[in-house]
Amino acid sequence: MNTTAPLEFDLVVLGGGSGGLAGAFRAAQHGARVALLEPGELGGTCVNVGCVPKKAMWLASDIAGHLALAARMGFDVHGSLRLDWPAFIADRQRYIHGIHESYRRRLDQAGIALMPARGRLHDAHTVECANGTRLHAANVLVATGSSPRRPEVPGAQLAGVSDDFFGFCEAPESVALVGGGYISVELAGVLQALGSRVDIFARGPRLLGHADGELVLQLQENYRQQGVGMHFDYRLAAIEQGAGGLRLRDGDGQACGDYAQVIVAVGRGANTDGIGLAEAGVALDGDGNIVVDAYQRSSVPHIVAVGDVTGQATLTPVAIAAARRAMDRVFGGRVDAKLDYDDIPTVVFAHPPLAGVGLTEAQARVRHGDDVHVFRSTFRPMLQALADRPQHSLFKLVCVGETRRVVGIHLLGEGADEILQGFAVALKKGITLADLHDTVAIHPTSAEEVVLMR
């Protein structure tokens, strides 16, 4: 039995990912004494096996695509255009190591006690570290993130998960991606551009169930043009090791393969097991997510939770924004501080990117019926047209009412990830179609299509 008096803090943070770090820094800015527990690398999924290394690989694959375009446009491109994976990975990891160092410096400068240990709630105010050290605090922030799930089928252990992709040292000859969500879509584009033969096996009738259906159909056509195979309404029954590689077997007993690698991307689960939530009285929903109110408070009000562990809009910027507002409320005196979860912009780093904010056309028609007005522009970006390639962009506005208030902006095309941010601000502020028409276009760009749609 541990008889040592616990160390006293104002806030103990479980998890050193994006949400945990943001909460720790904001609480310290308000003068709180903060301890942060993280047994792994700082930055969590986003920095280590998510957004950051994913975007690095996307950039490499984007360069590969432009090199192929260069040859079609008259550039004298000699030699192999294949990526030197080990050299690129060294640069990628150097970049990530710099982020780790930056976090450590900032934690030290802020006076935050960093404890490289796993924490568990001993009771509603006490956190116990794996080494037995106990921390006592008036407030606790849980930001332990999520982990990839595996399907419950025979042979599932033969497949990798999205985390394993970042351990690749070369492009596999062939890859099967099980799942039709954003992780499968992003990895498919990257791997195909870097030399793999890629097939996607989606459980649903289309990719990206959350995105606007019309844009998804265009993305699927672009992927077909790029050589990505897609299988819809697929029911995985087993993964098997064959003589020539890994095989997928469906519910009808049909086998498909052989693949050098299989990656399952069938969702993620909150990291809520084994951290003492039940002992502290924190309620979970049926999927294991921490139940929180609009202010990120759990069923135990002084225990707040942010990020993937809550199952709410599981995006890095959302975790950061929610954590900062929660700490402004707890320590900064802003009693009404909370995150508005409406109209959060998102990007799928497909090839090309698919970005959206607000309501899809289908969602708008459910909510507003015949008051919905849709405007769209399908076009080939200049670079694709110059190279005489079939890849098309599709930009779409969803408007409602006589004023044509814009309630949804959906962009598929080169630069969509960069274009959307500014338009997301405009949508949040209630922009109308007339406001867009009053804005002079920047020509020639893809972005001008947003203000020219009629």
Alpha-carbon distances of 451 from 96, 172, 305, 448, rounded to whole Å: 38, 42, 39, 6
Return d(Cα 75, Cα 188) in angstroms, integer: 27
Closest to 215 in 3D by CA, of 427, 376, 340:
376
Q: Count CA within 13 A, CB hemisphere, residue 401.
A: 10
Please say whether the beta carbons of 401 and 390 come within 8 A. no
One DSSP character per residue, 251-291 reads TTS-EEEEESEEEE---EEE--TTSSHHHHT--B-TTSPBP
Return d(Cα 156, Cα 262) in angstroms, integer: 10
Alpha-carbon distances of 387 from 88, 159, 366, rounded to whole Å: 27, 38, 41
The residues that are catalytic are 443
Please say whether the beta carbons of 280 and 293 come within 8 A. no
Please say whether the beta carbons of 120 and 278 come within 8 A. no
Hey, is 348 helix, strand or coil?
strand
One DSSP character per residue, 156-207 reads GGGSEEHHHHTT-SS--SEEEEE--SHHHHHHHHHHHHTT-EEEEE-SSSSS
